[in-house]
Amino acid sequence: MSGSVIKLQTPRTVSLAEERAEMLSARYADADALDILYAALREEFPGEIALVSSFGAESAVLLHLAAQVAPDVPVVFLETGKHFAQTLSYRKKLSTQLGLTNVQEIKPVKAEVAEEDPDGDLWRKNPDACCTLRKVRPLDSALSNYEAWITGRKQFHGGARVRLPAFEYAGKHFKVNPIVSWTPDRVDAYFREHDLPSHPLVAQGFPSIGCWPCTHPVADGEDVRSGRWRGQAKTECGIHGKG
């Protein structure tokens, strides 16, 4: 036996949920966003699905599409306490204009903020911990009764998003990405076709908008999300890490 090596292969474990997500992504590979939303909201996860929106630069597109299928879809907005005032007023204006009837403002737990970020500057000292406190845990709690959620992520955002499918399973929830393959031109055209209002900061050079301490304007030619956590290795807030 000396010298012989038995190689044990570790079989890839694919859960039924992952198989379902792959099957749905294949079935809807060439479908348009409205068909994907109809499938998600009406057929696959009726009553068990929410849409998560930051009411940022491109959010109006997904919200407008979703409002055509289910204006009463629960729309989760994470009110971190660090948004630009323009985002808060845009949220109200857009929700009213689109007829969305179930926009929910989700805040971090007050006692946790007092304990973990008493001076309100955790974003400067430890942005990952700040995002966990103000985004990840509140979203986790808000989605605890749902089987799936809808996101507005797109492949052109770059980074880990370039390989995103339309449906995925992320350990706790299904995630549905109806406009994942849309290009910037298509997003712009949709805004024009439907006369959607722009976030007020887009005209000031913000193509991606999050909390004010962690969002900066972007120069022509830079990646859309390059103004988020500028100068840091951090590129995502963490809500897409495991949910």
In the annotated binding site for [4Fe-4S] cluster, the residues are 130-131, 211, 214
Residue 18 Cβ, how far from ligand SF4 at the closest point, in Å? 29
**In the complex, minimum distance from the CB of residue 80 to ligand SF4, in angstroms, rounded to a whole number:** 5
Q: How many residues sit in the footprint of ligand SF4 (CB under 6 A)?
A: 13
> Residues 39, 70, 133, 237: which is the catalytic one?
237
Instruction: Give the per-residue SS3 of the chain.
Output: CCCCCCCCCCCCCCCHHHHHHHHHHHHCCCCCHHHHHHHHHHHHCCCCEEEECCCCCCHHHHHHHHHHHCCCCCEEEECCCCECHHHHHHHHHHHHHHCCCCEEEECCCHHHHHHHCCCCCHHHHCHHHHHHHHHHHHHHHHCCCCCEEECCCCHHHCHHHHHCCCEEECCCCEEECCCCCCCHHHHHHHHHHCCCCCCCCHHHCCCCCCEHHHECCCCCCCCCCCCECCCCCCCCCCCCCCC
In the complex, what is the shortest distance from the CB of residue 130 to ligand SF4, in angstroms, rounded to a whole number?
3
Question: Is 237 a known active-site residue?
Answer: yes
- Binds ligand SF4 by CB under 6 A, chosen from 131, 143, 164, 176: 131
237 binds ligand SF4 (CB under 6 A): yes
Q: Catalytic site residues?
A: 237
Residues that bind ligand SF4 (CB under 6 A): 80, 82, 123, 127, 130-131, 134-135, 210-211, 213-214, 237
